[in-house]
Amino acid sequence: MRIVIKIGTSTLAHSTGRLNIRRIEQLCKVMSDLKNSGHEIILVSSGAIGMGVGKLGLGGRPEDIASKQAAAAVGQCELMYVYDKLFAEYNHTVGQLLITGIDIENERHRKNFENTLYKLLELGALPIINENDTVSTDEIEIGDNDTLSAIIASSINAELLVLLSDINGLYNKNPKTHPDAEMIEVVRKITPDIVALSDGKGVLGTGGMATKIKAAELVTKSGCDMVIANGAYPKKLYDIVEGKPVGTRFIKENG
Ligand code: ADP
């Protein structure tokens, strides 16, 4: 199976902003094992700015664009250093792809990017993709890695997209503010009611899920299932890949 896995900053870092070493080690181990068992893995990872802030000792996320981009430049190196080191322990080779909105919109850029991605997979490497935060500004940015990973999953015909978040799945209300919220295990059709869970209408979700539901709309149309699951439990990735009930699964159209 060709699988795109998106890891957010909340999964990679402790609340202090520093790297969650145990978590990232476990994730890399499970992904290496899935790759060994024959799956193709493409990783979409955020975390560059956060790691740069830590490494430069900035004491907090900077407000101005230049400082943010400088932090991204430093943090992206650190992030890839960690991935390279951990995947190398299991004999896997990683390759870094940094893109912006222009690379998606411009047909020639997009073709080049896809060719590189396909070639990396053919060579048995593990592509690690992130938005190029060192040059991205509002006008040209994709904006978030839920969207980026969905674009990638649909353009390379992935069969599964996994979004690892700080929450177990999609709930009927925001569980952070509603203790009685219930998780939705399967979404077969993205109805207006499901979309409403993400746009802050009434007592429902506040927007953390908006980009994830948009991502589900995009990938399920291109024959790809999408799962939202909690990144705190890396071993659950095995069950997700086997189609067992973990988190919220959005079933592909006609699936
Ligand atoms: P990440 O950075 O991991 O991609 P986000 O912070 O963007 O995740 O989104 C996850 C957050 O969305 C949850 O922690 C939760 O507070 C919020 N949220 C809002 N509405 C919902 C909902 N209906 N179901 C689950 N989470 C929701």
Q: How far apart are CA 156 and CA 120, in angstroms?
A: 12
pTM over 0.75: yes
Nearest alpha carbon, ligand 1 atom 1: 165
The set of protein residues with a Cβ atom below 6 angstroms from ligand 1 is 8, 10, 165-167, 170-171, 173-176, 197, 205-206, 208-209
**For domain 2-168+232-241, which CATH number applies: 1.10.357.10, 3.40.50.300, 3.40.640.10, 3.40.1160.10?**
3.40.1160.10
Q: Where are the domains of the chain?
A: 2-168+232-241
Separation of alpha carbons 160 and 148, rounded Å = 14
**How many A from CA of 166 to the centre of ligand 1?**
7
Measured from the CA of 163, which atom of ligand 1 is nearest? Answer: 4
Q: Count the helices and strands in the chain (H runs, E runs).
A: 10, 8
Pick from 147, 165, 180, 213 the residue to mutate for probing ligand 1's pocket: most ligand atoms within 8 Å of its CB.
165
pLDDT digits (tens, 9 = 90+) for 20-54: 999 999 999 999 999 999 999 999 998 898 889 98
Maximum distance among all Cα pairs of the chain, rounded to whole angstroms? 50
Ligand 1 atom 5: residue of nearest CA: 208
CA-nearest residue for atom 22, ligand 1, is 174
Q: Is the dihedral of CA 56, 142, 79, 135 positive or negative?
A: negative
- Tens of pLDDT, residue by residue over 75-133, are 999 999 999 999 999 999 999 999 999 989 999 999 999 999 999 999 999 999 999 98
